[in-house]
Structure 1
Amino acid sequence: MPALTSVQLFTVNAALESDLEGTLAEVAARGFTAVEPYDFVRRADRLAAALQANGLQAPTGHAFLASDSFVNPDGSGTTVPVPTPDEVFDAADTLGMTTVIDPYTAPARWEKVEQIEETARLLNAVAEIAAARGLRVGYHNHAHELEATFDGQTGLEVLAGLLDPRVVLEVDLYWVARAGVSSPELLARLGDRVVAVHVKDGTLDPEALAAYPPADQVPAGKGNVPLAEALDAASALEYAIVEFDHYPGDLFDGIEQSRIFLDERAAERAAV
């Protein structure tokens, strides 16, 4: 069975914050049937109603599980406390979500194996809480988990080896490429642990890479990230999730082009 195509709603975060209902209607109009919400606890009821009204489901979502306070997308910390696991899982139930994924831990937590062990301990503990409620938890990478290496092994792989088998991974294919790691080879090594990928492309132009947010991202299939090869290497893939951290063009057109890339690839594979 092909992976379900979804879109991470942080891609359209400005539009979502100003017009949640209209933004979800536009996402659905662009051919999506599933989305991956972020920061969903504070608006779970309203989000659930808008999803239902537009024929959308939210099987996965992002919420901090191994941090005490929110972390900004650029890695800077805040003093804003995150919701408790029970609050996160209550909201997940409201949304019909089955997998809650921690989106980020600060780069400073990946300098020593002992720090990775602590992150694994926190994720394993919350996985126990989630399992009792029929839910699953996971972890989503950026580049720093792969830039950190220990005895020839990336930090993300060290984490994977420490995680409870119930904790899954969502691999961001763009950030893997940004870290200079082969995503097909990484996914082959991680095996069935990977149930979701962020399908995100970029030119990987060295000058553009110096910017934050990234200035090189393009619709899936238009850049130099080996998306098709990575998708082929994901042996237990359930969700293929479109995302942009930044895109200078029309975001809704960009996500639609990325969805078409995934649809065409799925059709090609079905015909083989």
Structure 2
Amino acid sequence: MPLRSVSLQLYSVRQAIEHDLAGTLARVAEIGYQQVESSYRLYSRGPQFIDALRAHSLASPTMTSPLVDVDLHAVFAAANEIGAHTVVETFVPEQFWTSVDDAVRVAEHLNVAAQVAAGYGLRVGYHNHWWELERLFDGRTALETMVDRLRPEVVLEVDAYWAAVGGQDVAALLSRLSDRVRFLHLKDGPIDRENLRQLPAGQGKLPIPEILDAVPDLEVGVVEFDEYAGDIFQAVDASLRYLRPLVTP
């Protein structure tokens, strides 16, 4: 099973961060996380974010940021300061996935970003929601249609749950994309679009061990929640306790 390390997407605890950034990162570290997925938005809050990361010895191998219509040099300089090696575009809205031409345009933006990122010693990646998997062009998912046009150095961070919501056999999808997939977002639940029904990894319908087996080059499994109906810290703790025994460095 190729899960090498576990991280936490800080979007999961965004509400706590708004009230107490340093205290939230302290609690994340106390739970047992040694890595987080940060964001350009958090970096832009000022030096207190990086100070808190360093104070609690939290690495950030990945950072999320828009990669379209932004100052790419500022984004990649921030990633270098944070210590990330990959910057992931996490949200291209559903209305921009209506045709093959749309998928091509997304690929073109990522390819441009990848060329700029290389000058900073970085990679770029793409993170999906359900619509890139639900939408088909000539029987092929919009995500795969985009991937066909990507430069070879662009990687994927596949949200396994949203891929399932998009109607995919996730392990089969990952097998088809395995040469690109370096990161997985891992949450669980009943496989629907109701964010508040999301559950910690291992408590829902997602076949996580089978999914992990389909990604031989996986670098990090990233715990993430869009929403959670209970105590989010208990949820991210439960996910880590489920995933940690699966780690094989």
Bin for the TM-score computed over the shorter chain = over 0.9
Identity %: 42
Q: What's the counterpart of residue 102 of structure 2?
A: 115
Query: Secondary structure of 2:226's partner?
Result: coil
So what's the TM-score if we normalise by structure 2?
Answer: 0.95
Partner Cα distance (1:2, 1:56) in 2: 19
Q: What's the counterpart of residue 254 of structure 1?
A: 235
Letter in 1 for 2:45: R
Partner Cα distance (1:230, 1:56) in 2: 26
Deviation track 1:27-83 (CA, whole Å, cap 9, x = no partner) reads: 0001100000122341353211111100100010110003x3xxxxxxxxxxxxxx4
Q: CA RMSD in A?
A: 1.4
Partner Cα distance (1:45, 1:148) in 2: 41
Question: How many correspondences in the alignment?
Answer: 247
Q: What's the counterpart of residue 72 of structure 1?
A: none
Deviation track 1:94-144 (CA, whole Å, cap 9, x = no partner) reads: 101110000010111111101111110111001000001101100000000
Q: What's the counterpart of residue 86 of structure 1?
A: 73
Compute the displacement of 1:224 (Å).
0.3
Which residues of 2 match residues 143-222 of structure 1 at below 5 A?
Answer: 143-204=130-191, 209=192, 211=194, 214-222=195-203
Query: Secondary structure of 1:37's partner?
Result: strand
Partner Cα distance (1:144, 1:176) in 2: 9
**Distance verdict in 2 for CA 1:41–1:84, change over 3 Å:** farther
Compute the displacement of 1:210 (Å).
5.6
Q: What's the counterpart of residue 47 of structure 1?
A: 49
Query: Secondary structure of 1:241's partner?
Result: strand
User: Taking CA–CA contacts closer than 8 Å with sequence separation of 6 or more, which of the two structures ends up with the larger relative contact order?
Assistant: 2
Q: What's the counterpart of residue 57 of structure 1?
A: 59
- Is 1:234 the counterpart of 2:249 in the alignment? no
Partner Cα distance (2:79, 2:45) in 1: 11
Unaligned segments of structure 2, at least 5 residues: none
Q: What's the counterpart of residue 33 of structure 2?
A: 32
**1:188–1:234 Cα contact (<8 Å) kept:** yes
Compute the displacement of 1:215 (Å).
2.5
Q: What's the counterpart of residue 98 of structure 1?
A: 85
Query: Secondary structure of 2:108's partner?
Result: helix
**Distance verdict in 2 for CA 1:32–1:210, change over 3 Å:** closer
**Distance verdict in 2 for CA 1:85–1:173, change over 3 Å:** same
Q: What's the counterpart of residue 19 of structure 2?
A: 18
Compute the displacement of 1:3 (Å).
2.0
Letter in 2 for 1:138: G
Partner Cα distance (1:139, 1:128) in 2: 15
Larger mean CA deviation between 23-32 and 42-51 belongs to 42-51
Partner Cα distance (1:40, 1:246) in 2: 18
**1:103–1:140 Cα contact (<8 Å) kept:** yes
Letter in 1 for 2:64: H
**Distance verdict in 2 for CA 1:44–1:231, change over 3 Å:** farther
Unaligned segments of structure 1, at least 5 residues: 69-82
Partner Cα distance (2:16, 2:196) in 1: 20
So what's the TM-score if we normalise by structure 1?
Answer: 0.87
Partner Cα distance (1:44, 1:3) in 2: 31
Query: Secondary structure of 1:256's partner?
Result: helix
Partner Cα distance (2:125, 2:71) in 1: 16
Partner Cα distance (2:156, 2:121) in 1: 18
Compute the displacement of 1:249 (Å).
1.1
Letter in 2 for 1:101: V
Partner Cα distance (1:158, 1:53) in 2: 42
Letter in 1 for 2:168: V
Letter in 1 for 2:4: A
Query: Secondary structure of 1:162's partner?
Result: coil
Letter in 1 for 2:141: T
Letter in 1 for 2:173: L
Compute the displacement of 1:2 (Å).
4.0
